[in-house]
Amino acid sequence: MSLHHPLRLGMVGGGKGAMIGGVHRIAARLDNAFTLVAGALSSTPARNAESAAEAGIAPERTYDDFTEMARAEAARPDGIEAVAICTPNHLHFPAAKAFLQAGIHVICDKPMTSTLADARDLARVAEASEALFVLTHNYSAYPQLRLAREMVARGDLGKLRLVQVEYAQDWLAEPSDSKQAEWRGDPARAGAGGAIGDIGTHAFQLARFVSAELPSHLLADLTSFVPGRAVDDNAQVLLRYASGAKGSLWCSQVAPGTENGLKLRIYGEKAGLEWSHVEPETLLFTPLGEPRRTLRRGATSMAGSRVPPGHPEGYLEGFANIYAEAAAAIRAHQRGEEAPTLLPGIRDGIEGLCFIEGCIRSARAGNTWINLAEVAQNG
Amino acid sequence: MSLHHPLRLGMVGGGKGAMIGGVHRIAARLDNAFTLVAGALSSTPARNAESAAEAGIAPERTYDDFTEMARAEAARPDGIEAVAICTPNHLHFPAAKAFLQAGIHVICDKPMTSTLADARDLARVAEASEALFVLTHNYSAYPQLRLAREMVARGDLGKLRLVQVEYAQDWLAEPSDSKQAEWRGDPARAGAGGAIGDIGTHAFQLARFVSAELPSHLLADLTSFVPGRAVDDNAQVLLRYASGAKGSLWCSQVAPGTENGLKLRIYGEKAGLEWSHVEPETLLFTPLGEPRRTLRRGATSMAGSRVPPGHPEGYLEGFANIYAEAAAAIRAHQRGEEAPTLLPGIRDGIEGLCFIEGCIRSARAGNTWINLAEVAQNG
Amino acid sequence: MSLHHPLRLGMVGGGKGAMIGGVHRIAARLDNAFTLVAGALSSTPARNAESAAEAGIAPERTYDDFTEMARAEAARPDGIEAVAICTPNHLHFPAAKAFLQAGIHVICDKPMTSTLADARDLARVAEASEALFVLTHNYSAYPQLRLAREMVARGDLGKLRLVQVEYAQDWLAEPSDSKQAEWRGDPARAGAGGAIGDIGTHAFQLARFVSAELPSHLLADLTSFVPGRAVDDNAQVLLRYASGAKGSLWCSQVAPGTENGLKLRIYGEKAGLEWSHVEPETLLFTPLGEPRRTLRRGATSMAGSRVPPGHPEGYLEGFANIYAEAAAAIRAHQRGEEAPTLLPGIRDGIEGLCFIEGCIRSARAGNTWINLAEVAQNG
Amino acid sequence: MSLHHPLRLGMVGGGKGAMIGGVHRIAARLDNAFTLVAGALSSTPARNAESAAEAGIAPERTYDDFTEMARAEAARPDGIEAVAICTPNHLHFPAAKAFLQAGIHVICDKPMTSTLADARDLARVAEASEALFVLTHNYSAYPQLRLAREMVARGDLGKLRLVQVEYAQDWLAEPSDSKQAEWRGDPARAGAGGAIGDIGTHAFQLARFVSAELPSHLLADLTSFVPGRAVDDNAQVLLRYASGAKGSLWCSQVAPGTENGLKLRIYGEKAGLEWSHVEPETLLFTPLGEPRRTLRRGATSMAGSRVPPGHPEGYLEGFANIYAEAAAAIRAHQRGEEAPTLLPGIRDGIEGLCFIEGCIRSARAGNTWINLAEVAQNG
């Protein structure tokens, strides 16, 4: 895709036993956009060394500490140009801060931080830094969801009325002591949100991305179905928009038989759109009174595509789109240019933390409406 | 299916221009369970005569008034054994009352009445009558939803956690002056509920039928999206159950591209069930950690079936199951027997009106939780 | 649907233990087009009496012999106006002949006869009779397949290139001694074809109906997979059309997991069409280079529909369309009018027997091409 | 996935304007199994230099000639360990021969050669070489098709009866002068087969891979629907197996609305399997008389998976499985070990050319049965 050599990438977190770190590494190299050359992958030295070796990182660029890594890499002439942050949530903030302040571009997993206060602080750090900050809300980089956004924007649906989004999983339907489950259930590391933080923020961001509307209010009912769980594993959320549209968001990690069931339906006065992660290359367009149309990836444009329709692309390719676009943005920045981009960033991160905070306030207040603008102002 | 001749049926409402009257007539004769011999089908004499002739009803048993019909038919030795009531909602109560008091069995469309007060009164009338009262919540007679109920009851899902039900249509997405739309939008005839009465009650009854649990509380957000509409055309409802389960109900008549989209998903500790009206003969069973299983109509039992799996049955056949079971119940009653039945009746009707009333109270109070038992007691 | 009273119908075959007889009875009454008043349903007197009583036929119009029935009913002033023939295949011919010669309209199950010679004879009998002959190739009366035919006819697909049709079942995957399986496996009663006669003729007729082209040649490979079976239970057939189009037909009764899997795909120079019995109300239209469109029953026209889209209709409703159209044709005939109709009849019957005969000749000759016009001329 | 650094890879073909070259490059690096360091990507020097630069290949390892490349790389201490061959078909043979004779492992696109004679010669070259030869029949590396093979092998289906495979596309429905279309339509470069070579060989190999049975005979009807096309664009093929099983294969490049529609259905005495490229992570298992089961990628094993079920993997990941397994095989070979592998190779290549040759002979002989063993012996 490019005449350039890949950018030099570092990684924080994502060592042995992690799930999302491997995804970031594949996404980074899939389009040859980045090459991984430095890392602080695990929190214990022995495990860190082992993880780095497996990832092909040289010992001299394997760091036990991300602060040291930021300093050392910034000082090298061949230092990393960007860093991927894949730690548990509570470390996103200090790690991102360290690299941004060192002038190194950051590609960070979601939610952006574990608290809204940290999110605000990070926003200030990012503002003060020359470096770019990208948040991996990867679903918004799927070609058919980009197309959905365009269709909404150009009025194919008419004035929006309804936004129905859901994200259902079943991997936490029973108590689990997997590494993945363990930190996600610990408010000190994951933040106060359980399902709402882990997958609810994806659903919220996606609905907001496609509709281009941020809800003004929400009302949430949070539940922890599994005994002993310290955070929510299910949430029913009602949404209201300043435009008069209404919405609902359901996220669950206890729905047996669902896998990674993100689904978005948007209805306007003139038409509807429907997308499901089960068949991510298909966008259904349903103009009122006309036959349903199946819009397939790559059929009209190859943007965000590597192979023609009928050759299924999916999660890793969507994630790689984030990395490919991040590389393009970084190169533009290196040339002193500023290019328009649809990449999620600080604003999405703040909004995500406001969503989490809003849900928790609503639940605590007995499921009342919370004004999200007020949460944003006094979070 | 039977050695018996069909039962004699009368009909109130369902004349020319009606939609559901024709459905009742087909359902009544599909299994040869009833033969239509008397009626008061339309509200004006000329239209009534025309409607009756089209339906094959003799002029001498064509009545301009349902009160007179109840009286006259009760007096005939060959009088009708049951009556189907398919009028707009506000006439369900007086018509049902007239026939029940005349000792004639009633098969009534939903919602049972247009007000909760009428529903209570009708319950008293039915209590005092020997005659049976059946409410055509037809979806609960689909074989795969009967199977779903059995599976929940025998514990295949474990303790229930979540009930997600939705019913989406698009035929009222724009202002309409069709006969169907007209009375449904008039609170004097339809009752105070729009979408919640017309389709929400179906969704509510179905979830309750399959789960065998009545929600203890609900919280509703009602919207009238189409300008000038006097009733809701969209509702987002949260549900709570005494058992600790949670639920959500979405009904809409303004979702472009949906047709008659009733969908039910139930999740327990051990498994989930999923059913959609788009493919009504399929029930998906998703035990945690095992492959999804597709349970098809007729594959293990032919109850409620006329033809083997693969020969699609649908709406009319499901509706006919109600009529076939009503005929069986009436015959048992005629023999002085009492047979257990899953037919919806007075209890479902009261619950449906409580649902409508609860939604309206919640919406008026700013979307707060309403205790449904209190609604039932002081409605 | 009509101001008329139902027509008087008799039935031959379809007694207790039969499957298709019940379908004919439901189809006949679903739209109130016919009322069943006479019959010779079973071959033994006791069973016949019992079957007739169950079907609500009076004892005086219950006949042990269809010849006697034709005579007696033709002589009554209130005699049957039409007869449905649902016997095993070998009796279609003598029964149809008896009623046609008595001037009674015939609605006959498929294949039309058990031999091509009988089919030719029946054609001559029908030619000489005033009465109408309808063959229940019911699938060609599904609304979306009618629409498909119209689309092909008006050139929406461009010049046709490919016709792919299949019909797969699994109910004969193991040896069976059910009544249904027993006569179908006996060449003396079913004719020389097994799967090709029972379901292959449906697939062949449907492809021919929608494409409006009769293949000029076929090449068939027939198999009897189940040991001891005297007829084919699987057939792979290649088709050639005079227009240059090619086709293939697969029918099987030994494909585990299929139910009643009729599926048709037609491709022309400009577009394709796809229809599957699993979702019979959907026709997929795939114009080259444009998004796939989902054409749903009832969305643009209510012909052949009783309820709006989203209220699933299926097999019985499609079958009832044949009866409703047959009734309309009979009424027109009674008025001395001749109305254009899409009802399958003698021509379809002859073509079906030529298909069976052609397959058998091709298989016997080592899977060589057979000219169907020659089969038709010297069968 | 590995503690090792990636293997050094070269590439022949796959320069600018090619489609499959980019796929090979992504597949090679997706799991970090290979790093591309040398190439002869295009046939003209200028284009070659440009293509190599885009792919990140250093100028000193950019070759205008694959023979020279094989020689030079074999001589370098850091020379390539394997080469990917992605040229038009007629160059597969000389290129593969050059590298195999230089002791460099070969990963070659399909069909293996453009003639059966070349395939035989290549088999002899491979036999004489120490180096490994892998043929990228990528579909056989999809996890659910590996699972299908296992299920057949362990008898889950019982004795096989039917193999139905199809591969339908529409990109050649009209005359095309794209680079992709152009060489595929030229027998001098593609070989004598059109659709049968380009996609028919995939379908044939997949059916053979999953069933573990090679057909003994085939009968083919080949068509060139598009005027002026020198090769077939549609093929209907009947298959016979020594075991008594039957099959059919349909491949087409002129079926509007299909994309890359590979589909496999296998039926045995006890059960069936169904897989479609549209949803490649799902394998349907249909045991006779039991509910259909949906077997999803990753649900029981993560072999060939990178992310949990519900995170769609597809074409590139399947292709990458070939590369990852090739790397594992090469490493084992470097250690002097021989590891069992399911990788397609010379045998698949020979069988593919026999399929093409058999189809052409059958078509020329008027669609008669061809004995594939005889083709293999005297091709």
Contact B98, B129 (CB under 8 A): no
The answer to whether residue B328 neighbours chain C at the CB level (below 8 Å) is no
Share of chain A above pLDDT 90, in %: 92
Q: Residue A286: phi, psi to the nearest 5?
A: -125, 80
What is the predicted pLDDT for the residue at A2?
44
* Structural tokens at position B6: 């069909």
Helix or strand holding residue A354 (H, E): helix A346-364
pLDDT class of B2 with cuts at 50, 70, 90: very low
Contact present, C229 and C222 (Cβ < 8 Å): no
B256-303 residue pLDDT tens? 999 999 999 999 999 999 999 999 999 999 999 999 999 999 877 778
The topology (CATH level 3) of A140-307+350-378 is Dihydrodipicolinate Reductase; domain 2 (3.30.360)
**DSSP labels, A236-305:** EEEEE-TTS-EEEEEEES--TT-SSEEEEEEEESSEEEEEETTSTTEEEEEETTS-EEEEETTSS--TT-
Cβ–Cβ under 8 Å, residues B284 and D293: no
Percent of chain C with pLDDT over 70: 99
Measured between beta carbons, which residues in chain B are less than 8 angstroms from residue D272?
none
Q: Nearest by CB to B246, which of A221, A286, A366?
A: A221
> Is D142-307+350-378 in CATH node 3.30.360.10?
yes
Q: How far is C377 from chain B (nearest CA, A)?
A: 36
C285 has a chain A CB within 8 A of its CB: yes
Distance (Å, whole) CA B12 – CA B98: 11
User: Residue C178: its pLDDT value, please?
Assistant: 86
Among B233, B246, B251, most A C-beta atoms within 10 A, so best to mutate, is B246
Residue A46 has pLDDT above 80, yes or no: yes
Cα–Cα distance for residue pair B49/B303, rounded to 1 Å: 38
Å between C149 CA and nearest CA of chain D: 17
Q: How many alpha carbons fall within 13 Å on the CB side of residue B151?
A: 22
CB-CB under 8 Å, C246 with D234 = yes
pLDDT for the residue D156 = 98
pLDDT (tens digit per residue) in C228-272: 999 999 999 999 999 999 999 999 999 999 999 999 999 999 999
Contact B30 C30 (CB under 8 A): yes
State how far the Cα of B237 lies from the Cα of B219, in Å rounded to an integer.
Answer: 6
Q: Do D291 and B296 touch (CB under 8 A)?
A: yes
Shortest CA distance from A54: residue in chain D: D3
Task: Answer yes or no: is pLDDT of D123 > 70.
Answer: yes
Angle at the Cα of D134 from the Cα atoms of D131 and D140, rounded to 5 degrees: 155
Instruction: Using CB atoms, pick whichever of B173, B236, B269 lies closest to residue A238.
Output: B236
Please, which residues have CB within 8 angstroms of residue D179's CB and are 6 or more apart in sequence?
D17, D18
Least CB-CB distance to C271: which of D219, D256, D366?
A: D256
- Average pLDDT for residues C274-285, to the nearest whole number? 97
Nearest to A238 among B174, B221, B292 (CB): B221
- CB nearest to C256's CB, from D170, D256, D287: D287
Matching fold, domains C7-135+319-344 and C143-307+350-378: no
Using omega within 30 degrees of 0 as the cis cutoff, is the peptide bond preceding A175 cis? no
E-assigned strand segments in chain C: 7-13, 34-40, 82-86, 105-108, 133-135, 160-168, 217-223, 234-240, 246-252, 261-268, 271-276, 282-287, 292-296, 370-371
CA trace torsion B211, B216, B221, B222 (10° rounding): 80
CB contact under 8 A, D308 and A171: yes
Please tell me what DSSP assigns to residue A228: T
Contact B313 C311 (CB under 8 A): no
Classify domain B142-309+350-378 at the CATH topology level. Dihydrodipicolinate Reductase; domain 2 (3.30.360)
Query: What percent of chain D lies above the pLDDT cut of 70?
Result: 99
Q: Assess contact for C23 and C14: CB atoms under 8 A.
A: no
State residue A340's pLDDT score. 86
Q: pLDDT per residue over C207-219, tens digit each?
A: 999 999 999 999 9
CB of A301 within 8 Å of a chain C CB? The answer is: no
Which one of A156, A274, A292 makes the best mutation probe of the C interface by having the most chain C beta carbons within 10 Å?
A292
- The answer, for C2 touching chain B at a CB cutoff of 8 Å, is yes
Chain C contacts of D224, Cβ < 8 Å?
none
User: CA of C292, closest CA in chain A: separation in Å?
Assistant: 5
Q: How many CB atoms lie under 10 A from the CB of residue C218?
A: 24
Please check the confidence at residue D210 and state whether its pLDDT lies above 60: yes
Q: Is B252 in contact with B233 (CB distance < 8 Å)?
A: yes
Return the minimum-mean-pLDDT range out of A263-277, B93-107, C5-19. C5-19
pLDDT of B1 strictly over 60? no
Q: In the complex, which subunits touch B with 3 or more CB pairs below 8 angstroms?
A: A, C, D
pLDDT for the residue D221:
98
- Report which residue type is found at A203: A
Chain B segment 214-243 residues within 8 A of A by beta carbon are 219, 221, 223, 225, 234, 236, 238
What lies within 8 Å, CB to CB, of C329 at 6+ separation is C132, C134, C339, C341, C343
Cβ-based contacts of B257 with chain A (< 8 Å): 267, 271-272, 274, 284, 286-288, 292
Structure-token pair, residue B187: 């609170």
- pLDDT value at D179 more than 90: no
Extended strands (E) in chain D: 7-13, 34-40, 82-86, 105-108, 133-135, 160-168, 217-223, 234-240, 246-252, 261-268, 271-276, 282-287, 292-296, 370-371
Instruction: Work out the mean pLDDT of chain C and round it to a whole number.
Output: 95
Looking at residues D242-253, what average pLDDT do you find? 98
For D33, how many CA atoms within 13 A lie in the half-sphere containing its CB? Answer: 22
Q: What is the per-residue pLDDT for A379?
A: 59
Question: Which homologous superfamily does the CATH classification assign to the domain defined by A7-135+319-344?
Answer: NAD(P)-binding Rossmann-like Domain (3.40.50.720)
Reported as a single tens digit per residue, the pLDDT across C29-88 is 999 999 999 999 998 999 999 999 999 999 999 999 999 999 999 999 999 999 999 999
- To test the contact with chain C by mutation, choose from A147, A282, A294 the residue with the greatest count of C C-beta atoms within 10 A, namely A294
Using CA coordinates, name the residue in chain C closest to A292.
C294
pTM of the model: 0.97
Q: Judged by CB atoms within 8 Å, which residues 140-199 of B form the interface with A?
A: 161-162, 164, 170, 173-174
Hunting for tokens 């929940």 — which residue is that?
Answer: B152
**CB within 8 Å of C155: residues ≥ 6 apart:** none
Burial class (CB in 10 A: 0-12, 13-18, 19+), D134: buried
Interchain proximity C54–B30, CB inside 8 Å: no
Provide the pLDDT for residue D4: 66
Domain extent listing, chain C = 7-135+319-344, 143-307+350-378
Q: What is the pLDDT of residue B4?
A: 66
What is the CA A301 to chain-centroid distance, rounded? 24
C346-365 residue pLDDT tens: 999 999 999 999 999 999 99
The CATH code of domain C143-307+350-378 reads 3.30.360.10
Mutation for B interface: A161, A234, A264, A275, most B CBs within 10 A:
A161
Residue C92 C-alpha from the chain's centroid? 13
State the pLDDT at residue C379: 59
Cβ-contact B161, B200 below 8 angstroms: no
Beta-carbon separation of B257 and A287 below 8 A: yes
How confident is the model over B52-93, as pLDDT tens digits? 999 999 999 999 999 999 999 999 999 999 999 999 999 999
> ipTM for the complex?
0.95
Smallest CA–CA distance, residue D79 to chain A, in Å, is: 20
Question: How much is the average pLDDT of A81-96?
Answer: 98
Residue pLDDT, tens place only, A310-339: 999 999 999 999 999 999 999 999 999 988
